[in-house]
């Protein structure tokens, strides 16, 4: 009855997150309890060497995900979803959508997965003395200019996926500060784009005689807790094809999936960290002070309230692992064994725990796309082993689970071993942690620190975005970290695993193999062009 009453009264919050392979909506009450979930599966396409989703796919995915949620509410509670207390949009960070003044998309959406911006990213890193990753929006924008793309003159709005969806539904050209930190470097004191760097960039491109200044075409920056507009009549009609959802719902700032991951794991205060492991994998640590120097392997972003965060971001996570599980599913079907995918994942993951701590000399790279941490700009999924390796199923699966954390570990090693960054807790969330005690154990080995997974670990970013929406209407003037501690996570159950010394030693051996084998991955990129 409490859930029904909350939904009927609109004492709820909704987060919708556009992930790489799934769009997910999570409806919660104002204590953070999940009331209903909706899904829409999709996949990016490689079109003319650009990883992209079309606007039609984006629109269909948004409506389909909301429809899934609405139907779940109807089936579970016998209610028609008409009002929501607050909502927010999040999405995979970075990349660029560039529109003209009439709202026309000027070039296909370039996702975070693209690595065609090396020249721009290198030049901007030197210009700013600040690491600009290849996938950041400003790198894509500058690459358009360097490539003398004629449409660059016509750009009136250059933004990210979550900011675009937010604009569609509210008419407001804004984004949350965590997402903005993947657009352009942020000044954490002023909670805005770094003005000095904006001026440097405008001087850098002055000779191209473009009719705009950079700030004019970027979304406005807002921090968590600030009002970011309301659902318009047009937005409500677009989102809910049944026509029942009422306009006027307040929106929190849209966010990137890094920010929602921080919120979902209560990792928004200094000395906290989290690892989000899915199609892409990234680790974030909230810093007490800035790093001693610029590292191309480390992104400097922010929490949804603007605190500085060091991120080790890997474009490639579990995609290749998922492909192999799909192959095992085909084999089971061929043998007349109808295996449930959840059971298949669970058995394969759990069986890996009996593998050798160093994976028996097996070495996969799940590089579907380029990898910034290892400075490789294209992907070639590979599996390599020596003749005397211990080739069996448990080592095979363990190696693929390790390698999904491989690039991220290289970045974390910089933070913890070179910079001496301290963390009091690391929390894991995302699909890798659904099978209890497996991904969590391997992450503990990778970071050589205790890892906690909460009950909500598999809900991930959409739940985090729903919490940001709830914070908008129920934060009562508190800091975000206080709100999360006092209202959401106070009684949240979770499990913590300490690192096993044998696993730690084994993962270090695997990491040495991973570093050595990068020459093979680079050679594959050069040699395999079909």
220 shares its domain with 333: no
User: Is residue 292 domain-resident?
Assistant: yes
Q: Other C-beta atoms within 10 Å of 519: how many?
A: 9
379 shares its domain with 483: no
Tell me what pLDDT residue 456 has: 62
Last residue of a domain, one of 230, 255, 280: 255
Q: Which helix (H) or strand (E) holds 196?
A: helix 195-204
User: Is residue 384 domain-resident?
Assistant: yes
CA distances from 243 to 28, 76, 163 (A): 22, 20, 24
DSSP letter for 418, please. Answer: I
Q: At what angle do helices 195-204 and 137-146 cross, to 10 degrees?
A: 10
Tell me what pLDDT residue 115 has: 84
CA proximity to 151, closest of 217, 200, 91, 90: 217
294 shares its domain with 397: no
DSSP letter for 488, please. Answer: I
User: Is residue 510 domain-resident?
Assistant: no
98 shares its domain with 140: yes
Per-residue pLDDT 10s for the chain (530 aa) are 699 999 999 999 999 999 988 999 999 999 999 999 999 999 999 999 899 999 999 999 999 999 999 999 999 999 999 999 999 999 998 899 999 999 999 999 999 888 899 999 999 999 999 999 999 999 999 999 999 999 999 999 999 999 999 999 999 999 999 999 999 999 999 999 999 999 999 999 999 999 999 999 999 999 999 999 999 999 999 999 999 999 999 999 999 998 998 998 899 999 999 998 888 888 999 999 889 999 999 999 999 999 999 999 898 999 999 999 999 999 999 999 999 999 999 999 999 999 999 999 999 999 998 898 999 989 999 999 999 999 999 999 999 999 999 999 999 999 999 999 988 879 988 788 889 999 999 999 999 989 998 876 556 789 999 999 999 999 999 999 999 999 999 888 788 999 999 999 999 999 999 999 999 999 999 999 98
Residue 230: strand, helix, or coil = strand
Tell me what pLDDT residue 220 has: 98
208 shares its domain with 245: yes
User: Is residue 364 domain-resident?
Assistant: yes
Residues 6+ apart with CB under 8 A from 411: 283, 297, 298, 311, 312, 313, 314, 373
User: Is residue 260 domain-resident?
Assistant: no
91 shares its domain with 215: yes
365 shares its domain with 474: no
25 shares its domain with 146: yes
User: Is residue 6 domain-resident?
Assistant: yes
30 shares its domain with 128: yes
| Model confidence, pTM | 0.83
User: Is residue 396 domain-resident?
Assistant: yes
Q: Looking up tokens 């909460």, which residue turns up? A: 454
Q: Which CATH number covers residue 413?
A: 3.30.420.40
Strand 362-365 and strand 308-314: the pairing is unpaired
User: Is residue 73 domain-resident?
Assistant: yes
Rg of the chain on CA atoms, in Å: 22
Residues 6+ apart with CB under 8 A from 111: 44, 51, 52, 53, 92, 94, 95, 135, 161
344 shares its domain with 304: no
131 shares its domain with 24: yes
Whether 469 contacts 252, CB under 8 Å: yes
Whether 84 contacts 248, CB under 8 Å: no
Residue 457 structural domain:
266-316+408-501
358 shares its domain with 456: no
The residue count for the chain: 530
Look at the chain and report how many structural domains it folds into.
Answer: 3
């Amino acid at each position: 009855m409490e859930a029904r009453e909350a939904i009927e009264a609109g004492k709820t919050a909704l987060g919708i997150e556009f992930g790489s392979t799934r769009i997910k909506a999570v409806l919660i009450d104002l204590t953070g309890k999940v009331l209903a979930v909706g899904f829409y599966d999709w996949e990016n396409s490689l079109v003319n060497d650009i990883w992209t989703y079309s606007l039609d796919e984006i629109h269909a995915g948004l409506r389909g995900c909301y429809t899934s949620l609405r139907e779940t509410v109807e089936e579970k509670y016998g209610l028609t979803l008409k009002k929501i207390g607050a909502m927010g949009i999040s999405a995979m960070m970075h990349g660029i959508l560039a529109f003209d003044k009439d709202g026309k998309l000027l070039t296909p959406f370039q996702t975070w997965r693209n690595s065609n911006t090396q020249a721009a990213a290198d030049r901007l890193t030197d210009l700013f003395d600040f690491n600009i990753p290849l996938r950041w929006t400003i790198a894509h924008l500058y690459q358009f200019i360097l490539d003398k793309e004629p449409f660059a003159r016509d750009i009136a709005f250059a933004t990210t996926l979550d900011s675009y969806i937010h604009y569609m539904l509210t008419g407001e050209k804004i984004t949350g500060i965590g997402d903005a930190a993947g657009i352009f470097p942020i000044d954490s004191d002023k909670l805005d784009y770094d003005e000095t760097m904006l001026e440097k960039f405008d001087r850098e491109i002055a000779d191209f005689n473009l009719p705009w200044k950079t700030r004019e075409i970027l979304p406005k920056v807002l921090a968590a807790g600030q009002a970011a507009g309301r659902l318009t009549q047009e937005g409500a009609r677009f989102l809910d094809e049944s026509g029942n959802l009422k306009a006027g719902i307040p929106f929190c700032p849209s966010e990137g999936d890094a920010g929602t991951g921080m919120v979902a794991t209560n990792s928004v205060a200094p000395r906290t960290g989290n690892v989000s492991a899915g199609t892409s994998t990234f680790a974030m640590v909230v810093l007490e002070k800035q790093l001693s120097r610029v590292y191309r392997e480390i992104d400097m972003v922010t929490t949804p309230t603007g605190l500085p965060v060091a991120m080790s971001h890997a474009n490639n996570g579990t995609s290749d692992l998922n492909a192999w599980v799909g192959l095992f599913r085909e084999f089971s079907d061929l043998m007349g064994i109808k295996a449930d995918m959840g059971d298949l994942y669970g058995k394969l993951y759990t069986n890996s725990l009996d593998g050798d701590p160093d994976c028996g000399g097996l070495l996969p790279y799940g590089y579907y796309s380029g990898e910034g941490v290892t400075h490789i700009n294209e992907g070639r999924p590979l599996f390599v082993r020596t003749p005397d390796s211990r080739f069996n199923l448990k080592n095979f699966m363990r190696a693929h689970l390790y390698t999904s954390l491989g690039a991220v570990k290289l970045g974390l090693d910089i933070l913890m071993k070179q910079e001496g960054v301290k963390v009091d807790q690391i929390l894991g969330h995302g699909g890798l942690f659904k099978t209890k005690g497996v991904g969590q154990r391997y992450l503990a080995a990778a970071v050589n620190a205790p890892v906690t997974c909460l009950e909500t670990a598999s809900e991930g970013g959409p739940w985090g975005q729903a919490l940001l929406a709830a914070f908008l209407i129920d934060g009562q003037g508190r800091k975000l970290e206080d709100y999360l501690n006092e209202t959401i996570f106070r009684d949240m159950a979770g499990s913590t695993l300490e690192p096993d010394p044998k696993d730690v030693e084994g993962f270090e051996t695997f990491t040495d193999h991973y570093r050595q084998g990068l020459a093979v991955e680079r050679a594959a990129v050069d040699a395999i062009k079909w």
